[in-house]
Amino acid sequence: MTARGLATMAVALLFAPVAGADIGSRIWATGGVTTIEGSAGGGLVPWALLGSYASDEEWGGTLALSRAEVDDYSLSVTGAGLNWNNRLELTVARQTLDLDSLVFTLKDGFGLEQDELNQDIFGAKVRLVGDVLYSPWGQWSAGVQYKRQRDFTVPSAIGARDDSGTDVYVSGSKLFFAAVMERNLLVNLTARATRANQGGLLGFGGDRNNSHELMMEGSVGLFLNRQWLVGAEYRQKPDNLSFATEDDWWDLFVAWVPDRRLAITGALVNLGDVATLEDQQGLYLSLQGSF
C-alpha cells in the first residue's frame, strides 16, 4: 500500500465517530502509541507493549500519522500495525525526511542537492513473557525492524555502506501502581543492535564502523490520570560516518488518550547534530487510531 493510501485510511479512522464496536479488552492506554518506526511504544523508543487493545484470542490494529519539525528538517511518518492475540505485532511505516533543499558538501568539494529522503520499515514484535500490569518483572518482548532506503544517492555519497539494514531489539516494560504522588509510573528499557545512520535515513554502516553495535534506549512516563501521560525518552545512536558526528536523541512528551480509539502525542524533541547541521530541536505531533 502506498503512503498516500495509508494516510487516507488513517485520516478516515482518526476522525471517525469514536462510539461504536468493541476494539479489544485490554485496559485503557496499554497499547502505547506509535513510534516513528511504526512499532508500539513512545515516539522514539519501542516498548514491550504491543499496539491496539487486542488481548488473548483477539486481534486489533493501529493507524498513525506523525510529523516532526526541527530547525532544518521535517520528518513525516505514516504507519500501520496489526496485533494478533497480544502475542505478535506486525508493522509497516513510510518515513519521508524533507531536507529543505539542503546541499551536502562532500570531501572532494562537490555538492549534492536533494529535496527528501524516503525509507520503508517493516517490523515484527513478539511478546515473550509477562504482563506490563501484573507480572512482577513486567512484560518482555523481542522485535526486528527491516529498513530499506528508496533512494541511496545521498547516503552513498556521504559514506554509508548499504541501502538496507536490520535492527534487532529486546524491550522490557513495567507499570508501577501509585508509584509517584499516587500516580502510576511506566518504565521501559530497550536494547537495540543496529548499524543504522540517523535511524536508517542516512543508510547503514560507514567508514568508521560497519558492524552492529548495541545501543540502549529508555522511556519513563507518569499517568496523571487514565487519559494523560507525561514523560521522557532517550535513545543512544551509533556513530558510523566520518562525514558528520551522530548524536543521541531525546524528547519530552505528553500523550492524551481521550478515547480508546484515539491517541494524540506531542513532544519537544532534540536530535542533536544531523548531517553537519547543529542542534536540531523542534516539535513532534502524532495521531493514532486503534481498531
Task: Please state the pTM of the whole predicted model.
Answer: 0.89
Q: DSSP letter string over 166-230?
A: EEEEEEEEEEEEEEETTEEEEEEEEEEEE-BSGGGTT-B--SS--S-EEEEEEEEEEESSSSEEE
pLDDT in tens, the chain (291 residues): 444 554 444 455 454 434 344 566 677 777 889 999 999 999 999 999 999 988 888 899 999 999 999 998 999 999 999 999 999 999 999 999 987 645 554 444 445 556 789 999 999 999 999 999 999 999 999 999 999 999 898 899 889 999 999 999 999 999 999 999 999 999 999 999 999 999 999 999 999 999 999 999 999 999 999 899 999 999 999 999 998 899 999 999 999 999 888 999 999 999 999 888 889 999 999 999 998
d(CA 268, CA 285): 9
Strands 111-113 and 103-105: antiparallel
Using the 8-state DSSP alphabet, how is residue 135 labeled?
A: S
